Amino acid sequence: MPQSLIERGEKAARYIGDTELAHTIRVTLAKQHKESPDVVIASPLQAQVKTTISLARNKQQTEFALEILPLAQRLLKTANMKSGKTDPIQHLVDPSP
């Protein structure tokens, strides 16, 4: 498995709060030769790394959505108020002036 992917897995484990997995990955990386671009790890750990990266990506996307949704709602509300529309959903359904 590419060392860069293992390193991403370690960062992802820390991001989602899995300190035990992050530690296991750090120990595994420390045992590998620095010159080698690939890291030899057991299949179950490879699966954990891939799953952890996916979980971290999902967490990041969820946090982004939770941050951006209120901003988008305020923007829509402001745009509707400036256009004279009171119901933002009706504006989307019936765009006639």
Number of domains in the chain: 1
In a domain, 58, yes or no: yes
The boundaries of the domain holding residue 61 are 3-84
Compute the distance between CA of residue 86 and CA of residue 45 in angstroms, rounded to an integer.
54
Does any domain span residue 89? no
Distance CA 82, CA 68 (A): 21
In a domain, 20, yes or no: yes
pLDDT digits (tens, 9 = 90+) for 5-60: 999 999 999 999 999 999 999 999 888 877 778 888 999 999 999 999 999 999 99
Provide DSSP, 19-42. Answer: HHHHHHHHHHHHHS-TT-SB----
Q: What is the pTM of this model?
A: 0.70
Give the 3-state secondary structure of residue 3. Answer: helix
Give domain status of residue 31, yes or no.
Answer: yes
Residue 74 domain flag: yes
For 1-97, strand residue ranges (E) read: none
Residue 93: its H or E element: helix 88-93
Of 91 and 45, the one with more pLDDT: 45
pLDDT higher for 85 or 10? 10
